[in-house]
Amino acid sequence: MLSGYVVTVLITIGIYVILALSLNMITGYAGQISLGHAAFMGIGAYTSALLYTRAEFSFWPAFLVAGLVAGAVGAVLAIPCLRVREDFLAITTMGINFVVEATFLYVPFFGAGMGIGGINPPSLFGSEISKPGFLLLVIGVIAAVITVDRWLARSWIGLAWAAIREDEAAAGTMGIDVVRFKVLAFTLGSAGAGLAGSLYAHFLTFIMPVNFGFGQSIVILSMVVFGGIGTLRGPIVGAILLGALPEFSRPAMEYRTLLYGILLLLLMRYQPDGILGERSLLVRGWHALRQQAAPMKN
C-alpha cells in the first residue's frame, strides 16, 4: 500500500491537476491570459469552508455550491475583463487576485488573517473517508473534468474558443458571439478552480488568505505552460512534474526556488511550447519516430 506521505503528495498533485486543467480552458483554449486563477480557487475554498463550519452543510453540497459560486463570480468578474485585451487583461486578472486576497485578509467575516479552521474531511455513509479514499475522490473529480474538457474541445464551443484565440476580430466577423464565449470560458474555468479549492480546504482542514495569493496563480499558470498550453496532456503532466518537484528537490532545499525560476526561464527560452506542446522537441520527436516506424508495418 502507499504510505501516508505518498498519498498526501498525490492528493496535492491531483488538486493541482484540476487547477491546471481549469486554467487551461481559459488561457489555453479561449486564449485569455489569466494571472488570477488562485482567486477563484480561494473563492471555492472559502465558500465551502464557510458553508461547512457556519451553515452546517456537509461536504458534498458545499463542494457543489463552491463550484457554482466560483463560476458565478468568474462570470461577473469576466465583465471588467472583457473591456480590455491581452496585456491589459493579464494585469486586470492579477489585480483581481490581489483584491480578492486582500478581501479575505481584511474582512472579519472571512476570518481575516487567521483564516478558517476546523474544516473536516468529507464523510461517506456516516464515517469520515480515509486519505486513500480522498485520493480516489480527487481522481474521480479529475476524470469528470477531463470528460467535460474533451466534450468541450470537440464541440462547437471548443471551435468558437479556438477561433477567438487565433483571431478575435475575425471570429467576431464570422458571427461568433465573442463576449458570450469569453464569459463561458471564465465561468467554466473558475468553476473548476472553485471545486479544486473546496477539495483543498477539506484536505488541509484549515485555509488562510495567503494560500490563494498571486504566487499560487503563477504556480498554476507555470504548470499549464510547462506541460504545453492548449493541449489536454500538457497541463496534467505539467501539474504532476512541477507538483512533485518540491518533493524530489528536498536535498537542494536552499536552491529550490532558484532552480524553479531558472527552469521556467530556460524552458520558455528553448521550449516555448512546453515539454509536451505540439511543437515541442518530445512531441516532434515522437511524430518523427512514428513516421519512420510506419513503413515497417506495411
**Segment interacting with another protein (CB under 8 A) among 142-150, 167-175, 255-263, 284-292:** 255-263
Q: How far is the CB of 271 from another protein (least distance, A)?
A: 10
Binding-residue pattern over the window 6 to 45 for another protein, x denoting contact by CB under 8 A: ---------------------x-----x------------
Task: Count the residues of the shown chain that bind another protein, applying the rule CB under 8 A.
Answer: 41
Tell me the H-state helices in the chain.
4-23, 37-54, 59-82, 86-106, 131-154, 156-166, 168-173, 178-204, 214-227, 233-248, 256-270, 281-297
Q: How far is the CB of 35 from another protein (least distance, A)?
A: 8
Q: Interface residues for another protein in 84-103 (CB under 8 A)? A: 84, 86-88, 90-92, 94-96, 98-99, 101-102
**Segment interacting with another protein (CB under 8 A) among 129-137, 149-157, 234-242, 249-257:** 249-257
**Segment interacting with another protein (CB under 8 A) among 127-135, 170-178, 232-240, 265-273:** 265-273
- The rounded Cα 160 to chain-centroid distance in angstroms is 21
Quick check: 212 and 45 in contact, CB under 8 A?
yes
Q: How far is the CB of 67 from another protein (least distance, A)?
A: 25
* SS3 (DSSP) at 207: strand
3-state secondary structure 86-136: HHHHHHHHHHHHHHHHHHHHHCHHHCHHHCECCCCCCEECCEECCHHHHHH
Q: Does 272 bind another protein (CB under 8 A)?
A: yes
